[in-house]
Amino acid sequence: MQHYIESLRRDGNRLATIIELGPLDTHVPSCAGWQLRDLAHHMGYIHRWARLSAATAARPDESQIDAPPPLGPDEPAELAEWLRTGVEALITTLAVLAPEAPTWHPFTVARVAAVWPRRQAHELAVHRWDAEHAVGAETPFDAALAADFVREYFEVIVTRVAGRDGRTPPTGTVRISFTGTGTGNGDSFVVRVDGTGVSVVADDAQIVDAELSGPAAELVLALWNRAPISTMPDNDLARAWLSFGGN
């Protein structure tokens, strides 16, 4: 739990600093059609929406979400402060929740509070990268957080976007292997997609249909269609996963 909280605070500060410096009409290449202003509005809204979900264990009442500051000469500073206020309120709520406490969320996993710190840390990490990439100042992902982010992609995000957007996950088994050190989550796991759905299982040296490997941070960006993987796999199934996409 604590490493998610620390990541939220760190990346929240990084994103707010970029927004404060602007300019807010800077195009965000990794988020089609968005400017930095749109990215800030999205994240500030998501932090408030997630906090309400976690705090009330119910679908959020969106009328309780305060609007971002209006256009004007003070907008960059006010928008940065709106972001900081939102992420700190989220952190305050998440920090006192028992992991097994009931909650509401839209994902196809157990509705327990442990989902929220993980999901929000990863959501903010990728959008912090989006903002940094837009201004040419990317900072690296924490290796352990990135490895967990890759695993969560298959455990949570794949079924979410499949159901929401009508995408079909690639059928078969693929071994996900991390290269480098410091992942903190083991070196590999296996993703299986069949008629029963998507499952993530321990890698017990089973025979698989495909392999997808690389540094954890690189796999995050590749799976979320942020940046190409440095070594493209030669297997159709692995390449299909790289084109499946995230949120």
Tokens of 118: 């993980």
Query: Would you state the pLDDT for residue 184?
Result: 46
Out of 3.30.1490, 1.10.3470, 3.30.1050, 2.60.40, which CATH number does the structure's domain 143-244 have? Answer: 3.30.1050
Tokens of 144: 């352990």
How high is the mean pLDDT of the chain?
93
Tokens of 104: 């509401």
Return d(Cα 54, Cα 116) in angstroms, integer.
7
Give CATH 1.20.120.450 domain extents, the chain: 2-135
Which tens digits make up the pLDDT trace of 41-76? 999 999 999 999 999 999 999 899 999 999 999 999
Average pLDDT over residues 1-27: 96
Give CATH 3.30.1050 domain extents, the chain: 143-244
Query: What superfamily would CATH give domain 2-135?
Result: dinb family like domain (1.20.120.450)
Tokens of 43: 């994240």
Average pLDDT over residues 131-160: 94
**Is the per-residue pLDDT at 206 higher than 90?**
no
Q: Is 9 helix (H, G, I), strand (E, B) or coil?
A: helix
Confidence of residue 220 (pLDDT cuts 50, 70, 90): very high
Closest-CA residue to 156 (of 205, 123, 128, 194): 123
Residue 161 burial class via C-beta count within 10 angstroms: exposed 0-12, middle 13-18, buried 19 and up: middle
Angle, CA of 4, 94 and 110, to the nearest 5°: 85
Tokens of 116: 């929220």
Query: Would you state the pLDDT for residue 189?
Result: 95
Average pLDDT over residues 15-26: 97
Pairing of the two strands 210-215 and 172-179: parallel
Note if the bond before 23 is cis, omega within 30 degrees.
yes
**Is the per-residue pLDDT at 26 higher than 50?**
yes
Average pLDDT over residues 94-121: 95
Query: Would you state the pLDDT for residue 143?
Result: 86
User: How big is the chain, counted in residues?
Assistant: 247
**Is the per-residue pLDDT at 219 higher than 90?**
yes
Residues 176-180: contacts with CB under 8 Å, at least 24 apart: 176/150, 176/151, 176/212, 176/213, 176/219, 177/203, 177/211, 177/212, 177/213, 178/147, 178/150, 178/213, 178/214, 178/215, 178/216, 178/219, 179/213, 179/214, 179/215, 180/143, 180/215, 180/216
Q: Count CB neighbours of 201 within 10 A.
A: 11
Q: Which residues pair with 213 in a beta bridge?
A: 177
Query: Would you state the pLDDT for residue 181?
Result: 59
Structure letter (DSSP) for residue 153? I
Average pLDDT over residues 201-206: 85
Angle, CA of 2, 30 and 224, to the nearest 5°: 55
